[in-house]
Amino acid sequence: MKISVNEQTQVSALMQTPDRAKACLVLAHGAGADMHHAFMAAVAGDLERVGIATLRFQFPYTEKQAKRPDPPALCHATVRAAAAAAHALAPSIPLFAGGKSFGGRMTSQAQAKVPLPHVRGLVFFGFPLHPAKQPSIDRAAHLFDVKIPMLFLQGTRDALAELPLIEPLAQRLGELATLTLIKDADHSFHVPARSGRTDAQVRLEMAETLAAWAGSALKGRG
What does DSSP assign to residue 21? -
What's the length of the chain? 222
CATH code of 2-220, in short, is 3.40.50.1820
CA 95, 100, 106, 112 dihedral sign is positive
3-state secondary structure (DSSP) of residue 204: helix
Quote the distance between the C-alpha of residue 92 and its chain's center.
21
Tens of each residue's pLDDT in the chain, 222 residues: 999 999 999 999 999 999 999 999 999 999 999 999 999 999 999 999 999 999 999 999 999 999 999 999 999 999 999 999 999 999 999 999 999 999 999 999 999 999 999 999 999 999 999 999 999 999 999 999 999 999 999 999 999 999 999 999 999 999 999 999 999 999 999 999 999 999 999 999 999 999 999 999 988 743
pLDDT at 92: 94
* In the chain, domain spans: 2-220
pLDDT at 53: 98
What does 39-98 look like in DSSP terms, one character per residue?
A: HHHHHHHHHHHTTEEEEEE--HHHHTT-SSPPPHHHHHHHHHHHHHHHHHH-TTS-EEEE
pLDDT at 42: 97
Contact 79/107 with Cβ under 8 angstroms?
A: yes
pLDDT at 222: 37
Pairwise CA distance, residues 156 & 198, whole Å:
15
